[in-house]
Amino acid sequence: IQSSFFWQGAAVRRALSSSSRSRHHSILRSGKMVSTENIATEEDPNTLIDIEEIHKIAVLQGSSTYIDPATGFTVFSELVHLKRGKCCGMACRHCPYGWESVQNPDSMKQNQAKVESGDGESIQKLLQSMELETKEYEKKVQVDEKNGKSRISLTGGRSGG
């Protein structure tokens, strides 16, 4: 089974092997293939499983959106919300404002605020911090001299490493 989905500026191919049930993500960026092998497998619980890792990769690549592989929905990244500068009130998954403008947020799991909606100085600081993370991320992309493809070297996070 093979499906494709897109992040802004990056085509992502997700191939799912029905025999091993392992997933392989490849990201075509600036003409180079970036591979995040074994994003999730049922056999190895130490591999990356959760959507937060996919979101982090999208943010580090400067993407406004990504596709949730479980639902097929287009999801706004935290970057878009920060650039907007305030909570839109739609209970977005990656809202950095803690759903400040959401009507009746008590009926939903509350999102933890990272910055206050409309606080331009704090928003700029968070965006600068994210830029630094992006630069660090780009340093982790290694080029395999044999095949000319880039490979992401992910460490840390919930999966350890």
pLDDT, tens digit (0-9, with 9 covering 90-100), for 97-125: 998 898 886 766 667 788 888 888 999 99
pLDDT at 24: 36
> Cβ contacts of residue 87 below 8 Å, gap of 6+?
81, 95, 97, 98, 99, 100, 101, 102, 117
Mean pLDDT of the chain: 67
More confident residue, 91 or 9: 91
10: pLDDT strictly greater than 50: no
95: pLDDT strictly greater than 80: yes
Beta pairing class for 32-37 and 150-152: parallel
> How many Å separate Cα 147 from the centre of its chain?
26
Question: Does pTM top 0.75 for this prediction?
Answer: no
Residues 61-84, mean pLDDT to the nearest whole number: 91
% pLDDT > 70, the chain:
53
**SS3 category, 57:** helix
The pair of three-digit structure tokens given for residue 119, joined into one six-digit string: 């606080």
The pair of three-digit structure tokens given for residue 5, joined into one six-digit string: 């989905």
List the alpha helices (DSSP H) in 40-113. 51-60, 78-84
| pLDDT range class, residue 146, cuts 50, 70, 90 | low
8 A C-beta contact, residue 41 and residue 20: yes
How many other β-carbons are positioned within 10 Å of the β-carbon of residue 42? 11
List the alpha helices (DSSP H) in 2-146. 51-60, 78-84, 120-140
Instruction: Tell which residue, 72, 32, 30, has the closest CA to residue 51.
Output: 72
| pLDDT range class, residue 8, cuts 50, 70, 90 | very low
Amino acid present at 114: K
Residues 129-137, mean pLDDT to the nearest whole number: 88
8 A C-beta contact, residue 7 and residue 66: yes
